[in-house]
Structure 1
Amino acid sequence: MQKSFISYEHCERRIFSFAAAYMCPICHFSVNPASEEVLEIPSPFLDKSEPMSVTLKPTDGLFLRDYKNGSDLHIGITNSKGEIFEFDSRGVSTGACWKQFLNIQIPVSTKKEEWDLILEKTSEKFKHERYDDSLMNCFSFVTSSLASIEEIAEFCKDKAVFSEKFLTESTKRAAKYISVYRHIEKYGFYII
């Protein structure tokens, strides 16, 4: 489970922190956390994958600690049991235990058996000899797998279209979360 933070209002401002403060960082007066409406802001990052989804993590390190805007990301896809399938210079592998990643549900009506068969067939085509950082990579593996699903095939032909349709919203939310999280970690709070 990834660390979440909380949000509450005081001095007509929204304050974010890991725990309710007993002194307002704005007015420096006492705050009664029990009297404030405290909202928990859950982390968008998971340590356990969900079935039939796309997974996304930094190629190196962890989102909250290491990721910088523009750093390379690694993408995978899960089967109906939630096992991550990924493609890299070693070929297709499964069973890796990813930490702190985004799990993105792709809205399809595909049955579990069909989804798993698609992954199996795509995995057979993606051999380590074919791997290329730019042309035949983890993203190619995921979009090739999903291109077999008729209802979303049109979005899988182009990486930019696929990203905009399925990944952008989650990655923007993650970027905001990382920014606020790091600010809280550094200063103890974040105020808007």
Structure 2
Amino acid sequence: MWCPEAGKPVIKFNHCQRSIYGFSVPERCPLCQQSVHWRKLEEAPVSISNPFTNGHREKCSFLLRPTQGTFLRDYDGRSDLHVGITNTNGVVYNYTIQGVHRDEAGWEQSVSIPLLQPNMYGLMDQWDKYLEDFSNSGAWLPHRYEEDHCNCYSYTLTFINCVLSTEGQERLDKNDFTEKYVLPRTRKVSKYITLYRAIEEHGFHVTDSPQPEASTP
């Protein structure tokens, strides 16, 4: 089902020996103006994997979104990102200069990184308590906020490392977590945004170059 917050669905089909991307499949090819039909299964339309999700529907996840605006409308690849952690009900805990927030709205167009495996029932049962107790500690009071050292990213990563320590697992430093989990997703986001905006501007986009991974509907 299409979620308005995630933008319009993007469709890819092949015609005129090119890959054509749009928000729907036209009756006629925008390149040759001939009726669109496919002789081979691999030429048929496929949907492009959307990197965004409604963060309030995600349990026990690390979320990213632009500090201002949304990914599709405002993100330029250099804009500041805000991050948070969801509880089991999709409430997003995040830290700003005002202290810890518990957002029930505002993260409808996010990038989500699940933090638990589906079979980790014991930890999931304790997750909300861990997150609430952690957020109530004196370390995250408003006056302790520092843009470079004590910020939303350090809040989320410190919580993740507290959970890892509780489970007897090795802690992650900021560079490891960013390189392994965050950068692959933000690169995919940037490619998707470029493609999406090109379709918005021209009505379709044509390329022979690799684009975001396609998945059949």
TM-score by length of 1: 0.90
Distance 1:34 1:41, change over 3 A: farther
Q: How much has 1:122 moved relative to structure 2?
A: 1.9
Q: Between Structure 1 and Structure 2, how many residues are aligned?
A: 190
Aligned twin of 1:93? 101
Residue 106 of structure 1 is matched in structure 2 by: 115
* Residues 16 and 191, structure 1, Cα contact 8 Å, conserved in 2: yes
| SS of equivalent to 2:189 | helix
For 1:44, the equivalent position in structure 2 comes to 51
Question: Is 2:137 the partner of 1:128?
Answer: no
Match of 1:181 in 2: 196
Q: Distance in 2 between matches of 1:172 and 1:75?
A: 16
Residue identity matched to 1:80: T
Equivalence for 1:19: 24
Structure 2: gaps (5+ residues)? 208-217
Alignment deviations for residues 131-175 of structure 1 (CA, whole Å, 9 cap, x no partner): 1111111001100100012366422xx322111122122211111
Which range is displaced more, 50-59 or 166-175?
A: 166-175
> In the alignment, is residue 141 of structure 1 matched against residue 174 of structure 2?
no
- Is the counterpart of residue 154 in structure 1 residue 175 in structure 2? no
Give CA deviations for 1:80-110 in whole Å, capped at 9, x if unaligned. 2221101101111113312311111124546
> What is the identity percentage for the equivalent residue pairs of Structure 1 and Structure 2?
35
Question: In 1, Cα distance between the equivalents of 2:39 and 2:66?
Answer: 38
User: Are 2:63 and 2:85, in contact at CA under 8 Å, matched by a contact in 1?
Assistant: yes
Give, in whole Å, the separation in 2 of the partners of 1:76 and 1:153: 21
The gaps in structure 1 that reach 5 residues or longer are none
> Aligned pair in 2 of structure 1 residues 11, 34: CA closer, same or farther (>3 Å)?
closer
Match of 2:87 in 1: 79
Whether the 8 Å contact between 2:90 and 2:104 is mirrored in structure 1 is no
- Following TM superposition, the consecutive aligned residue runs of length 4 or more in structure 1 with deviations greater than 3 angstroms are 32-36, 107-110
